[in-house]
Amino acid sequence: MELPSAVGPPPLCLAPTNSPEALIRRLVLWNIDLTLVDVARVSRGAYADAFRRVTGRPLRALPQTTARTDSQIFFEALALNGVGPGPALDQTVAGGQELLARYTRELEAAFGARLDLLSTQGRALPGAREAVAAVAELPGVVQSVLTGTIRPNAAVKLRAFGMDQFFDFEIGGYGSEIYPMGAQLLRSRGRAAEKYGAEIGVNPAVYLADSGRDVEAARVGGAHCVAVASGRSTAGELRDAGADLVLDDLADTEAVVSAVDRLTSAVSAG
């Protein structure tokens, strides 16, 4: 399968700025892996290839990837495979930043080399495309992603399954950033406010994701959370983590849209 370049996501189809519909009031953020798509087999191969190119060593053991960013996975893999200082190397200092930048470049290239495998070894989760398309039709909504995946690979994953046109990738949070996911959510809200107007930064936001850590990130970032039990966390675990609402999956489009609409209304936030 041949896909377009991941550079520069397509523009959102927004209403003219002189119309009432142009006022973006609600921010909806989505996790990608195990919420919208499952491309774990492709990702594992890309991790191994990028790790080998950066370290000169094979990736013999892959750390836990659920609810972790690509940068966290890399530094944990260094320690787990006995290569270099691993997590002890502060990602905020020059050495850590340089190493992470090299890995990020190699990870983008490794994933790009596997584009034709996305449709054969990966899949969109049930109802995912229908859900993001329907949420996009709600008045005053802009959608982006908050994901552990680096930005180029996030765009490609969604493009492979016909979902990229529903997202503004400029305001999202990604796995190449050193900030925790909760802090990234706050930064995404700030980017949205800068791009679309302050109203979207203060009105209710919602994060749709599949793990307890995601629920925690939503709480830290001041957003509601619709948790989807399509990953490795059970519905009970997601409820215990404090999700506002738990869905078994995204197959019931009406339920997804209703939840987003209710949680992002100013009335419900009051």
- Domain chopping of the chain, boundaries: 20-39+122-269, 40-118
* Top-tier CATH class for 20-39+122-269: alpha beta
Residues linked to residue 27 through DSSP beta bridges, in sequence order: 142, 205
Q: What is the pLDDT along the chain (270 residues), one digit of tens a residue?
A: 444 333 333 344 443 333 444 455 899 999 999 999 999 999 999 999 999 999 999 999 988 887 788 998 998 999 999 886 544 444 444 467 888 899 999 999 999 999 999 989 999 999 999 999 999 999 999 999 999 999 999 999 999 999 999 999 999 999 988 788 999 999 999 999 999 998 898 889 999 999 999 999 999 999 999 999 999 999 999 999 999 999 999 999 999 999 999 999 864 444
User: Up-side HSE of residue 181: CA atoms within 13 Å toward CB?
Assistant: 29
> Under a CB-based contact definition with an 8 Å cutoff, are residues 178 and 151 in contact?
no
Strands 37-38 vs 123-124: parallel, antiparallel or unpaired = antiparallel
The angle, 0 to 180 degrees and rounded to 10, between the axes of the packed helices 151-160 and 94-112 is 20
